[in-house]
Chain A
Amino acid sequence: MSETTTKPKTGWFHLMKPYFEDMKHSLYLWRRNKLAIVGSIIIAAFLFIAIFAPLLTPYKPDIQNLSEKLLAPSSQHPFGTDQFGRDILCRILYGSRIAIQIVLIVTIISGFIGISIGVTAGYFGGIIDEILMRITDMFLAFPRLVLAMAFAAMLGPNLTNMIIAISLVNWTPYARISRAEALRVKGQPYIESIRSMGASNFRIMFSHVLPMTISPVLVQLTLRMGTIIITAAGLGFLGLGAQPPSPEWGVMVSDGRSYLIDQWWVSTFPGLAIAIVVLGFNLLGDGIRDMMDPRLRR
C-alpha cells in the first residue's frame, strides 16, 4: 500500500487494472452459472463449425450424387443423405455459415435502427417521441413472423431480402429499451450540466446518453439472436428466404417434408441443429444478462 500513496503508478497495465479486475469478476460469475457455460460451449462450437466447415467434412454441400440418395445414417454419412444424395451432416455444417451471416447482419442492422430510433425518441421527447413510438407500435401490432413474411414476399424471396425483412421487424424491442434508458438518463444532473456548458443535442445524445443506454440493449441483442435464427428458418421453410440448393437449415427441413415418415433423418437433423443453436443463444443471453446486470452481479 505504501508505494501507491507516495507515487501513483502509471503505464498501461496499471491503467487497465480496474478492467482486468472487472473481467475477472465477470469470469467468476460466468463460471458459477452452469447454464451460461453450456450456452457458451454451444455457441463456441457453432462459431468453430462455421469457420472450419470445409475442413470438417469430405463432401461438398451442393454436389449431387443420385446413386446415394436417401441413405440412412451410417458411418460414411453419419446423418444420412437427402433426396439428391447430398450428405446431410455436410450441409448442416455449411448451413451454420449462412445462419451466422444472418444473425450478425440482422443484429447489426436492427440494432442500429432500434438504438437510433429509441435514443432519439427518448432524448427529444414530446412530439418526436410520439411519432417514433407510434411507428414502433405499428410494427409491434403485427405478429413478427407474419410481418417478416409480408416484407420478404414483397421484396422477393432470396437470402439478402430475407435479411432485410427480418431486420425490419426485429428492431422494435431495441427501440423500446433504448428509449426507456434514454428517458432515464436524460433527467440526470450531468446531462443538464453538460448542456449548461453548451454541448449540442447531437453531442449529448451520442457521447453522453448513448453509452448509458447500450448495456441493456446489448443483452437484448444477444437474447434475440435465437429468435432471429428461428425466424430465418421459418422463412426458409416457407420458401420466402434462402432458396434451394442453399444449405440453409429451414430450407433443408422443408426439403425433407415429403420423406418425413420413411426417411426421418432428412428433416430431423437440420431441425435439431436449429433447436440446439437457438438454445445456445438463449442460455448465453441469459448468462450475459446476469453478468452485466449490476443488481444481479454480487
Chain B
Amino acid sequence: MEKRGNLLNVSDLHVVFYTYRGVIQALNGVELWMNKGERLGVVGETGCGKSVTSRAVMNLIEEPGKILSGRVLFEERDILKLKESELRKMRGNEISMIFQEPKSSLNPVMNVGFQIAEVLGKVNNKPIKSQYKQAAQMLEFVGLDSDRVLTMYPHELSGGMAQRVMIAMGLAPNPKLLIADEPTSALDVTIQAQILELLDDLVEKLGNAVMLISHDMGVVAEFCNKILVMYAGNSVEYAPTKTLFRNPLHPYTTGLLKAVPQIGRTDELKAITGTVPDLVDPPSGCRFHKRCPQVMDICKKERPPFIQVEDDHYVACHLWGNKESFDEQKGGESQ
C-alpha cells in the first residue's frame, strides 16, 4: 500500500452494521490520510459515514457493527490488528476524541475534576488523586476558572463550558491526533465561533493533528487545511481547502458548495436533488449516480476509483477517469 500521509493512512475501509432491516454498508472503501500537525476536515451529509469513520480509526466500532476489511495505519501500526491492551494504550494517549454532545459525553455523577484527572491518571500511569493539579491547569488552559469548575458537575455547566471541558479532556494527554466529531453542532452560533477559535489556538500551540468532522462547510473552511468530502460511505474528493473551494471536481462537491450561502452571493441556493441512498441497498456503481446531474452509463455499472488528478487533489468520479482525461477536460475549459 502506498503511504500518502506520515501520520494516518486509512485505505479501503469497509464497515457494516448488522440490523434487522438488513446489512447496512456504512463504509464502502473509505480512503483518507493525514500528515503530522495537519488539520483535515471531513464533510458530508448526515449518515454518510463521517462519524463511523472516526470510530473506525480508533477501532471503536461496536456490536452490531463490524469492520470487514481495510487498513488503518497510525504511524507504523495497523490499528485494526492491535491487541485490545495495545489499543487501550493508544486511545487517549496518542489519539483522543471530542464528541458532539458535550453535556451527555461527561459522566453526570462525577465532577469535572475527577473526570479529567482520570484521563490524566491513565495517561501518566499514576493514581488519579495526584492528577488534580494538572487537571486544574488544563481547565485554565481552555479558559475556565479552575477553582470553581473543578468541583462542578456536568449539569451545572453551560453547553460551551462543557465543550471546553471536553476539549481539556481531549487535549490533556497531548495526543498526536485529535478527532473532533462535530464539536460545535450542539452549540449556538456565537459559542461555536468561540469554541473553534479556542481549539484553533490550542492546537496551534500544541501542534496536534486534528480531524474535524462536520457538515458545515463554513466551519471546515475556516479551520482546516485539507478537506475530505464523503458521500454514502465513500471518499469522493480530497483536496487542500483552497483548491476544493475554487476548483471542485466531483459533482457532489459542486452541489454542496452551491448549497452554501455566502455573503455577497446573489444567485439562488441550489439543493442537491434527491435524498441520501438507503445503505442497506445502495445504488450500483457510483453511489451518487441517481442524484448526479452529469450521470453517464458507466456510473451505473462501475464504482469509480479514488485517483489522483492533480498534485494533492484526489477524486472518485468517472468524469475524471484518469489523469489524461482530466488534463483534456481542464485544457478544454481554459480555452
User: Min CB distance, B8 to chain A, in Å?
Assistant: 16
With contacts A193-B99, A196-B58, A196-B60 taken as known, whether A208 is within 8 angstroms of B91 at the C-beta atoms is: no
With contacts A125-B63, A126-B63, A200-B88 taken as known, whether A194 is within 8 angstroms of B147 at the C-beta atoms is: no
Determine if B105 and A198 form an interchain contact, defined as CB atoms under 8 angstroms apart: no
Determine if A190 and B108 form an interchain contact, defined as CB atoms under 8 angstroms apart: yes
Q: Which residues of B contact A190 (CB under 8 A)?
A: 104-108
Count class of interface residues, chain B: 20 to 34
The number of chain A residues with a CB under 8 A from chain B is 21
Determine if B60 and A189 form an interchain contact, defined as CB atoms under 8 angstroms apart: no
Question: In A169-195, which residues have CB < 8 Å from any B CB?
Answer: 188-190, 192-195
User: Min CB distance, A213 to chain B, in Å?
Assistant: 11
Interface of B toward A, CB cutoff 8 Å: 58, 60, 63, 87-93, 96-97, 99, 101, 104-109, 115, 118-119, 122, 145, 147-148, 151, 166, 169
Q: Which residues of A contact B97 (CB under 8 A)?
A: 193, 196-197
- Kindly report which residue of chain B lies nearest to residue A191, judged by CB atoms: B107
Determine if B109 and A193 form an interchain contact, defined as CB atoms under 8 angstroms apart: no
With contacts A190-B104, A190-B105, A190-B108 taken as known, whether A197 is within 8 angstroms of B63 at the C-beta atoms is: no
Bound complex: CA A212 to CA B109 (Å): 8
User: Min CB distance, B102 to chain A, in Å?
Assistant: 9
Determine if A192 and B60 form an interchain contact, defined as CB atoms under 8 angstroms apart: yes
Bound complex: CA A195 to CA B92 (Å): 9
Determine if A196 and B91 form an interchain contact, defined as CB atoms under 8 angstroms apart: yes
Classify the secondary structure of A's interface with B. Answer: helix
Determine if B109 and A211 form an interchain contact, defined as CB atoms under 8 angstroms apart: yes
Determine if B104 and A189 form an interchain contact, defined as CB atoms under 8 angstroms apart: yes
With contacts A15-B151, A196-B96, A197-B92 taken as known, whether A189 is within 8 angstroms of B169 at the C-beta atoms is: no
Determine if A198 and B147 form an interchain contact, defined as CB atoms under 8 angstroms apart: no
Set B92, B109, B148: member contacting A198, Cβ < 8 A: B92
- Kindly report which residue of chain B lies nearest to residue A211, judged by CB atoms: B109
- Kindly report which residue of chain B lies nearest to residue A7, judged by CB atoms: B147
Q: Which residues of A contact B99 (CB under 8 A)?
A: 189, 192-193, 196
With contacts A125-B63, A189-B99 taken as known, whether A197 is within 8 angstroms of B119 at the C-beta atoms is: yes
Per-residue 0/1 for A2-15: is the Cβ within 8 Å of any B Cβ (1 yes, 0 no)?
Answer: 00000010100001
Q: Which residues of A contact B89 (CB under 8 A)?
A: 198
Bound complex: CA A264 to CA B68 (Å): 76
User: Min CB distance, A130 to chain B, in Å?
Assistant: 13
- Kindly report which residue of chain A lies nearest to residue B104, judged by CB atoms: A189
A199: Cβ under 8 A from any B Cβ: yes
Determine if B96 and A195 form an interchain contact, defined as CB atoms under 8 angstroms apart: no
- Kindly report which residue of chain B lies nearest to residue A212, judged by CB atoms: B109
User: Min CB distance, B171 to chain A, in Å?
Assistant: 12
Bound complex: CA A198 to CA B99 (Å): 15
Set A10, A15, A197, A208: member contacting B122, Cβ < 8 A: A197
